Structure 1
């Protein structure tokens, strides 16, 4: 019997698009739609947490376009 250990899921790629400008009232980057805290902690986040943020990005994008 082999000792197979669960392989942790891979981290998704960063949504950064190298347009690093913070929206003046929403505190979100207008390039990737993440907060400064999310950007700063991205590399140390669990893949599941990163995916949760990625799932929220389309709604954030739309909310900034409406303003």
Structure 2
């Protein structure tokens, strides 16, 4: 798999975990951030789906 085929990180270079271990920049948990490079593309897509839900909840 080439680098172009990998699901890209949602990192926006605003890296700080809140009191719930959630990054205020990309909405990933600390564990998701740490494991990102070892995840399969399907696992990454699932994290991105969860991030989308978290972002909706933040906007409320």
Category of TM-score, reference length = shorter chain: 0.7 to 0.9
In structure 2, the residue matched to 1:39 is 33
Point out where structure 2 has 5 or more consecutive residues left out of the alignment. Answer: none
Larger CA Rg, structure 1 vs 2: 1
How much does 1:30 deviate? 0.6
Q: Which runs of 4+ in 1 moved over 4 A?
A: none
Structure richer in helix, relative to its length: 2
Instruction: Identify the match of residue 23 of structure 1 among 18, 23, 36.
Output: 18
Secondary structure of the equivalent of 2:17?
coil
In 1, the alpha carbon distance for the partners of 2:56 and 2:29 equals 15
Point out where structure 1 has 5 or more consecutive residues left out of the alignment. Answer: 1-6
Task: Count residues with an aligned counterpart.
Answer: 57
In 1, the alpha carbon distance for the partners of 2:21 and 2:58 equals 11
TM-score, structure 1 as length reference: 0.73
